[in-house]
Structure 1
Amino acid sequence: PLRQLTTESSKPTGNFSPFHRRRRRRAMFRLPRSTLSGILLSSSISSLHRCLLSATVAGSRISPSPSFAVEEYLVDTCGLTRPQALKASAKISHIKSPTNPDAVLAFLAGLGFSGADVSALIAKDPKFLCASVGRTLSPIFEELTGLGLSRSEVVRLVLLTAGGGRFRRTFVVSRVHYYLSLFGSSENLLRALKGRFCFLDSDLERRVKPTVTLLQECRLGACDIAKLLIAVPRMLTTNTEHIRVMVACAEGIGVPRGSGMFRAALHAVAFQSEEEVAAKVEYLRNTFSWSHAEVGIAVSKFPHLLRYSKDRLQCMSEFFISEAGLEPAYIAQQPVMLGYSLEGRLRPRYYVIKFLKENGLLKRVPKCSTIFHYVEKLFVDRHIHPHKEAAPHLAEDYAAACRGEMQTCFRFMNQERSI
């Protein structure tokens, strides 16, 4: 025993004075701070220490502490599919404990994220699970709601722009603040973000603000700029030189800066080369049998023609010219007609007017452009309801035609008359 060992060692040996014997005893009992180191001073106990150390090491090999399975956590807790979890786990393999991920998930649930929302977010941005709730996420989300966004709008904003770590960086608040002012409302901002171009990554000072300034120089008002950028959010991610090319192209199709159609012209030519625009203009001229002057009139009045597919334009040409019998020059003067749905609006209304005319129910045949421009309620009030007695099935047949269930004939009293 240690006590016996030290006692025996303290017995006087040789001719020592009482002073030296007391000093020797105090030195023997002055053990080091570490008990283990003190034990190692005794050769009789060192072997026991080695045995205990070996047993500890052996025990650690037998019962290791469980490691955190990231992939399983992503599947079981976050709701990712196995392929998604396999891809995501490679980005967060350094996580050794579920503590922080659990805190993040609890935070998201408190904001109103559904299980599906969480799965979508984590699949796009796995490192979101690594963010600190207290230092990063909570302050950012509080500032976003402070800008006037509701919790549901914050959820939509995060899901629309998930990925790239945007909502783990403080700059997102200042950028959202700027875009709320630019677009005029949170709903407009969310509409713009539905596209595949996330302009939250664009540098405000070097890219976005110069683009807005250029559009202002084109004499577009704040409302027109907002509408244009909602329709073409990609303009916020490109450089101003490309924007200048679009402006020149819009002017080239006969729409001057400051005109009411300039926003529509910019939208129509956006990210199309001059060659592509020229080819579309030539296709319009040939398809509708227009002269160079007529195609210029049509495009300047309704620039969206340049965004329509060739198939749509061909079908419109066949209907207006071959079926309705309109002159190309008349169509060029009323190009907005080409923007309406052929099956859901143009053809059903044309057939109603034709039916009424053939059955002598019209005192005066209205112009086609007038018929097609009417809002739905006005058309029904003027050309359907007044003929309930003479043509009791007209409303039903017209509604079926608008649904795409085109009738081969409209019914007149108990007879069927072809249209």
Structure 2
Amino acid sequence: MLRLRGSTLARILSFSAASPIPFPLHRLLSAVAPAVSPNPSFAVEEYLVDTCGLTRAQALKASAKISRIKSPTKPDAVLAFLAGLGLSSAHVSALVAKDPLFLCAGVERILAPNVVGLTGLGLSHTEIARLASLAPTCFRCKSIVSNLPYCLSLFGSYENLLLVIKHDSSILRCSLEKVVKPNVAFLQECGLGDCDTPKLWIAAPRLLCTNPERVRAMVACAEGLGVPRGSVMFRHALHAVAFLSKEKIAIQVEHLKNTFRWSDSEVGIAVCKFPNILRRSKDNLQSRSEFLISEAGLEPAYIAHRPAMLSYSLEGRLRPRYYVLKFLKENGLLDHDRDYYSAVAFIEKVFVEKFICPHKEAAPHLSQDYEAACRGEMRTRFRFA
């Protein structure tokens, strides 16, 4: 029955998208979701397991949100609608688990008209199906059709939009005129250029849907870190402080000072150069401090002026490359003044070309030892011969 309903709805949607005249959806959709009386024996949890494919735990959690459903009529129609869009059983199960209230959405009143509207904007049924799967809550809102054109222009492409809504789809139902557009205009006034804004939107989509007054407070906080509007790092600073309270920022700054033995001025330099350090976990920072200061012997001031190194993998980059440089210097194969940060900043291909390949004859095991170190198989010392 579900397969039959799905194929029926697929023909309806296909015809309605191509039809140049108003299409009587209500007459055909009635065939997909015939009206029936409430079924007193209908059990929501069992329906979610047997028909929607949810696990028992998922069904127990979801059933509390849709306990008002008293018959399979409306959820059957919704499942038929999703099948008509081409969603697999696995995708339908994931959608229902994510948004159980989707089963309560009106096919004739909201879902089918949304498909017609999105098709009119140029989206294929495959693209619409992906949208429904990623943002089911928004898909059952009429605003998705009116918001989509602006969102596409804002993010630059449909693929970029999908990247955003994987993390936060609220922009598809947020007020454009009262919230989104004022935020975009203000942040552009702050010096965010055409290249910066899509990156910020993708990294922090919630920013666009936040109360404009709060966004202004975030900008002030970013400036308070010493990163001026219009600077190269302003976008990163704004992303770093977004949704962090002043108290949390102060706690993180104090932790940085203690962990890396930085003075007030040094922690200020580090934050200005690498604002995302404010979002690093305590364990992440502690492990890097122990290696860079205690083992590699770097001065706190050296790290403060090159804080980007704290973003690199400890086991996959910082530690293995340190041991390569140490090995080369100890065996007279490298100038002892060679800067550590310049070596760890290189991409992998360039590092290998500059520090591994030239020493194949003098140190035939270096490449093998370095690869082992990158896998976490760190030997006490690299082999010379």
| Partner residue of 1:326 out of 298, 314, 318 | 298
How do residues 372-411 of structure 1 correspond to structure 2 at under 5 angstroms? 372-411=344-383
Deviations 1:150-200 (A, max 9, x none): 54443332222223xx32332211112221111112222222222256333
Contact kept, 8 Å, 1:261 with 1:301, in 2: the verdict is yes
| Partner residue of 1:160 out of 134, 148, 156 | 134
How do residues 28-107 of structure 1 correspond to structure 2 at under 5 angstroms? 69=42, 71=44, 72-82=46-56, 84=59, 86-87=63-64, 90-93=67-70, 95=71, 98=73, 101-107=75-81
1:141 and 2:102 correspond: no
Alpha-carbon distance between aligned partners in 2 of 1:137 and 1:345, rounded to the nearest angstrom: 49
Contact kept, 8 Å, 1:91 with 1:127, in 2: the verdict is no
Contact kept, 8 Å, 2:114 with 2:139, in 1: the verdict is yes
Alpha-carbon distance between aligned partners in 1 of 2:171 and 2:354, rounded to the nearest angstrom: 47
Contact kept, 8 Å, 2:135 with 2:169, in 1: the verdict is no
State the shift of 1:292 in Å.
Answer: 2.4
State the shift of 1:330 in Å.
Answer: 2.0
Contact kept, 8 Å, 1:264 with 1:303, in 2: the verdict is yes
SS at match of 1:338: helix
Q: Structure 1 pair 144/320, CA: closer, same or farther in 2 (3 Å)? A: same
Q: Structure 1 pair 88/272, CA: closer, same or farther in 2 (3 Å)? A: closer
How do residues 300-339 of structure 1 correspond to structure 2 at under 5 angstroms? 300-339=272-311
Matching residue's letter, 1:392: P
Alpha-carbon distance between aligned partners in 1 of 2:345 and 2:339, rounded to the nearest angstrom: 10
1:113 and 2:87 correspond: yes
Aligned length: 344
Contact kept, 8 Å, 1:265 with 1:303, in 2: the verdict is yes
Q: Which runs of 5+ in 2 are unaligned?
A: 1-37
| Range moving further from structure 2, 100-109 or 403-412 | 100-109
State the shift of 1:411 in Å.
Answer: 2.0
Contact kept, 8 Å, 2:360 with 2:366, in 1: the verdict is yes
Contact kept, 8 Å, 1:136 with 1:168, in 2: the verdict is yes
State the shift of 1:389 in Å.
Answer: 2.3
1:233 and 2:210 correspond: no
Contact kept, 8 Å, 1:160 with 1:193, in 2: the verdict is yes
Q: Structure 1 pair 151/392, CA: closer, same or farther in 2 (3 Å)? A: farther
Contact kept, 8 Å, 1:182 with 1:222, in 2: the verdict is no
Contact kept, 8 Å, 1:394 with 1:410, in 2: the verdict is yes
Deviations 1:309-331 (A, max 9, x none): 22222222222222222222222
| Range moving further from structure 2, 314-323 or 189-198 | 189-198
Alpha-carbon distance between aligned partners in 1 of 2:302 and 2:366, rounded to the nearest angstrom: 29
Which residue is 2:249 aligned to?
277
Which residue is 2:19 aligned to?
none
Alpha-carbon distance between aligned partners in 2 of 1:124 and 1:334, rounded to the nearest angstrom: 42
TM-score normalised by structure 2 residue count: 0.80
Q: Structure 1 pair 354/125, CA: closer, same or farther in 2 (3 Å)? A: closer
Deviations 1:29-48 (A, max 9, x none): xxxxxxxxxxxxxxxxxxxx
State the shift of 1:217 in Å.
Answer: 1.5
Q: Structure 1 pair 372/148, CA: closer, same or farther in 2 (3 Å)? A: farther
RMSD: 2.6
Contact kept, 8 Å, 1:388 with 1:394, in 2: the verdict is yes
Matching residue's letter, 2:245: S
Alpha-carbon distance between aligned partners in 1 of 2:150 and 2:176, rounded to the nearest angstrom: 9
SS at match of 1:193: helix
Contact kept, 8 Å, 1:89 with 1:126, in 2: the verdict is yes
Same amino acid, percent of matched pairs:
62
Contact kept, 8 Å, 2:293 with 2:300, in 1: the verdict is yes
Matching residue's letter, 1:116: A
Matching residue's letter, 1:341: S
